[in-house]
Amino acid sequence: MGTRYWTVPIARAVVAFVPAVVITFNADHSADFGLIVFGAFALVGGLVTGLLSWKTATDPRDRSIFAIQGAVGVLAGALALAMYAGGLGFFLYIVSVWAAVTGALELYTGIRIRGRGQVARDWLVVGALTAVLALVFLLLPPHAVVAVGLLGAYLVIIGVYLVIAGVSLSTAHADAKRDLASSSTDSDTP
């Protein structure tokens, strides 16, 4: 990963927290509201994930996978916003498909580089949580209030995890930089 990759999980966390707050403090938990909030989240999250990962990931395969993941988010978000009156069935469907595809892509990326750093673990955890969201939405008895509330809970959990991941990556990078500077200073001393 590039030295600035820590900005990606932080930006993704911010994108997750905004709709989580909107869901939490809004009494309307209808499917239409859920589609609008999910659509905005998926659209902006897709752009952030795709563009920032493309700029900061060093492995071309990782960049490509996250670009695809971002495109899926943009497409799902645009569909949700365009069809915001699609009802509960469409809300459950679009969130399930988005979560299954993006969760699988992030899991695959984490598995592919497993053991090569902290970022692999972060991708595995976020991918697994997103895949679980897909399963929950598939198995959930259709109820708009519960579904929108679960989306909000997912966004909070992902947001908190991504903040921790971003701060950990930033700290690890700063520690490595400091250790490198310290070792070069020690080698200059006779």
The 10s digit of each residue's pLDDT in 119-145 is 889 999 999 999 999 999 999 888 999
pLDDT of residue 5: 85
Residue 181 resides in a domain: no
pLDDT of residue 163: 96
Residue with tokens 């999980």: 9
Residue 124 resides in a domain: yes
Residue 141 resides in a domain: yes
Mean of pLDDT values over 97-106: 97
Residue 136 resides in a domain: yes
Q: Which pTM was predicted? A: 0.88
Residue 183 resides in a domain: no
Of 116, 127, 14, nearest to 65 by C-alpha is 127
Residue 11 pLDDT greater than 80, yes or no: yes
Spacing of C-alpha 112 from chain mean position: 18
Residue 186 resides in a domain: no
Q: What is the total count of domains within the chain?
A: 1
143: number of Cβ within 10 Å: 14
How far is residue 190's CA from residue 176's CA, in Å, rounded to a whole number?
23
How far is residue 88's CA from residue 14's CA, in Å, rounded to a whole number?
26
Residue 103 resides in a domain: yes
Question: Could you tell me which residue, 69 or 58, shows the higher pLDDT?
Answer: 69
Q: How far apart are the first and last CA of the chain?
A: 35
In SS3 terms, the chain reads as CCCCCCHHHHHHHHHHHHHHHHHHCCCCCCHHHHHHHHHHHHHHHHHHHHHHHHHHCCCHHHHHHHHHHHHHHHHHHHHHHHCCCCHHHHHHHHHHHHHHHHHHHHHHHHHHCCCCCHHHHHHHHHHHHHHHHHHHHHHCCCCHHHHHHHHHHHHHHHHHHHHHHHHHHHHHHHHHHHHHHHHHHHHHCC
Question: Could you tell me which residue, 119 or 49, shows the higher pLDDT?
Answer: 49
Residue 27 pLDDT greater than 60, yes or no: yes
Local confidence band at 184 (pLDDT 50, 70, 90 cut-offs): low
Structure tokens at 36: 């609008």
pLDDT of residue 28: 92
pLDDT of residue 58: 84
For residue 121, what are the domain limits? 6-165
Residue 36 resides in a domain: yes
